[in-house]
Chain A
Amino acid sequence: MDTIFGVPIQALFGQLLIGLINGSFYALLSLGLAVIFGLLNIINFTHGAQYMMGAFCAYFLSTKLGIGYWWSLLLAPIAIGAIGIVIERLMLSRLYQLDHLYGLLLTFGLALIIQGSFTHEYGTSGIPYPMPSELSGGQNLGFMFLPNYRAWVIVASLVICVATWFVIEKTKLGSYLRAATENPALVQAFGINVPRMITLTYGFGVALAAFAGVMAAPIYQVNPLMGVNLIIVVFAVVVIGGMGSIMGSIVTGFGLGVIEGLTKVFYPEASNTVIFVIMAIVLMWRPAGLFGQR
């Protein structure tokens, strides 16, 4: 019982765990993208940069103000979400009448500005961020060692994902949101302030990205480029899942993380590209994505 398919069981579960961790971030980020896309019809290219800003915000809070991980987990999403709201009010809201591609180009430009400035200030080598002391150490599960912090990341992102799904699919507020996605003019006519809802939705999506960033800081270090490559993978995740359903993006996020982890065990050369290959296959077989409707 030391190997499965010729692979040491330790390595297998180790990569499975890494896959689940990556999957947590894919799920959180694609969820944010899907929520924003649903109401704004904009693909938020700044999402990766906002994830990075979340991590940096936690780093600043800890070095400048001595605020620890747990408060950062709350304060960083609020701060970055507020910046997101300003961006939406000042810039994105001017583009709703135009082709949606302009929204993509604008958020791409914003991502370049943020990333370029942070790279200039902090370089690309990465800054360590301490793990909260409550979650240091780990559990020996017999077949593998499970660090507490990693277990926390998986559980926390699952909880956030399911809570978001619940709010959107099962509450009154969520039903307004879904109605506004279908027909904003009609919802407005019923006396609901749709522009404000759009603004808050963007703020919430951005806050999700920043939350993911804070959680990622102790694992991946704080790095100006941490969001860039991640966001491209998340785009592929979004294409695979289709942005039609909230649950779809959660399931696809975690699933693809695990598949990527397993690829690292069985065929490491393809681990960088496996998600893109899956995207190509899904496009051939089901262009609308696994959970999407055209």
Chain B
Amino acid sequence: MASTQTESTTLGMPATAANLKSQRVAFGVMLAFFAIAPFFVYPVLLMKVMCFALFACAFNLLIGYGGLLSFGHAMYFGAAGYVCAHAAKVWGVTPEIAILLGTAASALLGVLTGLLAIRRQGIYFAMITLALAQMIYFFCIQAPFTGGEDGIQAVPRGKLFGMIDLANVTAMYALVFVVFVAGFLLIYRIIHSPFGNVLKAIREHEPRALSLGYDTDRYKVLAFVLSASLAGLAGATKALVFQLASLTDVHWTMSGEVILMTLLGGLGTVFGPVVGALIIVGMENYLAQLGAYVTAAQGAIFVVCVLAFRRGVIGELGRVLKTSL
């Protein structure tokens, strides 16, 4: 992150053969987990975990590899949800089209906000994204099609490709699974592409990357738009799963939550955001009766992570196993 030192020694590690092997194993474990878990755990909860895992991975693409801390990622997650829900309910399009429309809306929003936000660095970048997201939040309260406080309720899941009925939990689970894995693999590919390497160079030392002839602003905007689109993909999918698009998903607390998931799992690790999403969504589910104390608990996790656990779960695991996960 930026030019000062971070503790994540694994961050800059090249993809050596040993790392590649451990990442393949971890990927296999993750696939197996999400394939077997629905037999033991409530599937809707797991679908929520996968949506948030994709959201956190998209966010991690920006902070972990681009060094850009966005405090407003809820706007892409929530806006895509609204567009997807509106398209599915009012226009009556098939679910895959609704998800794509939601993702496209987030991409567009990402271009507009990204071009503004990258004009400042570091702390200002975080404040600008937060303020822009708050603007979108107020827009969503007032806009006629979002349903204000009620949100868009009873969104039909519809028939995938006009054939597969998503009211069936297994079919819905399979769709979320495919979306999540595809998004995850795309992010993995981006991180390990030449583009991803330039991004890491910008994170480490932007003036140097600039002097090497890279148009750093273009790279940053592209990373921003990719991250926003994938966050939108997660948000749109979540809207279909819960058949609901609401203000919760555009609120700043959601932006905070995705930061927390990524931080807890491990900034700049491939699998960290997934683990972080699993822990936080699980915690919220089981501690729901504590009411506002859940917020306080999240805050406490933030404080502990920042003070004593900056590598996160997967970062620490990678350090113990001497590999990069």
Contact A102 B306 (CB under 8 A): yes
Q: CB < 8 Å: which of A91, A120, A277, A287 contacts B307? A: A91
Classify chain A: how many residues form its interface, as a range. 35 or more
B296 touches A112 (CB 8 A): yes
B302 touching A276 by the CB < 8 A rule?
no
Would you call B295 and A272 a contact (CB within 8 A)? no
For the complex, is B195 an interface residue (Cβ under 8 Å from A)?
Answer: no
A273 within 8 A of B: yes
C-alpha gap A3/B293 in the complex (Å): 50
Chain A at the B interface: SS class: helix
User: Which residue of B has the minimal Cβ distance to A272?
Assistant: B138
Are A111 and B123 touching (Cβ within 8 A)? Answer: no
| Count: A-B pairs, CB below 8 Å | 140
Knowing A99-B4, A113-B296, A120-B296, say if A280 contacts B132 (CB, 8 Å).
Answer: yes
Are A236 and B127 within 8 A (Cβ)? yes
Contact, CB under 8 Å: A117 / B131 = no
- Cross-chain contact A235 with B303 (CB below 8 angstroms): no
State whether A239 and B127 are in contact (beta carbons under 8 Å apart), knowing that A273-B139, A276-B132 are contacts in the complex: yes
Verify if B187 is at the interface (C-beta below 8 Å from A): no
Choose among A101, A106, A108 the residue that contacts B1 (Cβ–Cβ < 8 A): A101
Within 8 A of B (CB), among A233-258: 233, 235-236, 238-239
Is B300 touching A101 in the complex (CB atoms < 8 A)?
Answer: no
Task: Verify if A105 is at the interface (C-beta below 8 Å from B).
Answer: yes
CB-defined contacts of B126 to chain A, threshold 8 Å:
43, 101, 104
**Contacting pair A239 B128 (CB below 8 A):** yes
Interface residues of B in 20-63 (CB under 8 A from A): none
Given contacts A109-B303, A273-B135, contact A116 B295 (CB under 8 A): yes
- Other 20 A-B pairs with CB < 8 A, given A106-B306, A108-B256: A37-B123, A97-B5, A99-B6, A101-B122, A102-B310, A104-B69, A105-B259, A105-B263, A105-B305, A106-B302, A109-B299, A111-B299, A112-B256, A112-B296, A112-B299, A116-B298, A235-B130, A276-B134, A279-B128, A280-B135
